[in-house]
Structure 1
Amino acid sequence: MECLICAKHDGDGPLAGPVVFADELVVVSHRTGGALGYLFVETRRHVATLDALTVAEAEAVARAARLAAASLRAELDPEFVFTFVAGRSHAHFHQHVFARHRGTPDELPWHAEWAGAPTGDAAELCARLSPYFPPCCAPGR
């Protein structure tokens, strides 16, 4: 059975979305469908949990998540940028980093999707976010 995340990193399969940044350790991409500003930071290596990451992978994930949050804040001016770590469903560690857009109803939980959230061209947004990930920030550089 093919790994859906590996296929995604190769630009194939139902999960493939526009890529913001990629290096030998992590890939940052936009979620397919839904509101603008929902990014995934994923390891390239099959490793499902935070404690199983190498030091280099953990540093790369942390760096990419911070840059993802900063880029979303700069380009979308959201009310908040949230993050959470998920696992178990895929053999790749992945961290969600996403904007809670201004105007989101207060009664909605922090993680809720909102039908009134901004939509648009995710590939265009990713092109605007990419410069926030300078090559000097890749591990070993």
Structure 2
Amino acid sequence: MTSEKADTTNFLKAIRLINIENDACSFEVGKIPVLQNINATYFFAKNDIALQHSPHPAPRKQYVITTKGKLKFSVTNGHSFIIEPGIILIAADTLGNGHTWEIIDGNEWERIYIPINDDCDDYFIAD
């Protein structure tokens, strides 16, 4: 099941965590179109920070929408990036050791998870 692509020239900044060779984790920088209908059946909010500094893969392919907090994500290939409100994270690194994150401004991370069905497009467009 997939949705038609949105007809728009406006985009939101996005970073997608991905698996690369040998189930290592990397990321891509890009965007997703605004006004895009996504195939999701539920969402949930979270503010738990128990996994901070703990390597882990994404439990499922999902959008992660940060509403509060600024974080540094690190991936197994040694690179890192910053996530803060206004940047959509697409967690698609479901294999291997995955990624780690740490809060770099304040002591909270509030976010909304929107799981993406495995057979659906995440609408990510790499830069």
Q: Which has the higher helix share?
A: 1
Shorter-chain TM range is: under 0.3
User: Under a length normalisation based on structure 2, what TM-score does the superposition of the two structures give?
Assistant: 0.26
Q: Which has the higher strand share?
A: 2
Structure of higher RCO (CA pairs closer than 8 Å, 6+ residues apart): 2
User: Under a length normalisation based on structure 1, what TM-score does the superposition of the two structures give?
Assistant: 0.25
